[in-house]
Amino acid sequence: MEFVLRNIVTFEQCHCEENFINDCVDLMNFLLNSSKDVDLLVKNGIIQNWLRNSKGVSILFHNLVLELASSETYDGRFYFSSVAEDLNKY
Q: What is the pLDDT of residue 74?
A: 52
Put residue 59 in one of left, alpha, beta given phi > 0 → left and psi -120 to 50 → alpha.
alpha
| Amino acid present at 89 | K
DSSP 67-78: TPPPHHHHTS--
Q: Cα(81)–Cα(28) distance, rounded to whole angstroms?
A: 13
Average pLDDT of the chain, as a whole number: 85
Per the structure, the count of domains in the chain is 1
49-76: pLDDT as tens digits: 988 899 999 999 999 888 776 555 555 6
Q: What is the pTM of this model?
A: 0.77
Q: Cα(75)–Cα(20) distance, rounded to whole angstroms?
A: 13
pLDDT band at 15 (very low <50, low <70, confident <90, very high): very high
Which structural domain, as residue segments, surrounds residue 59? 2-89
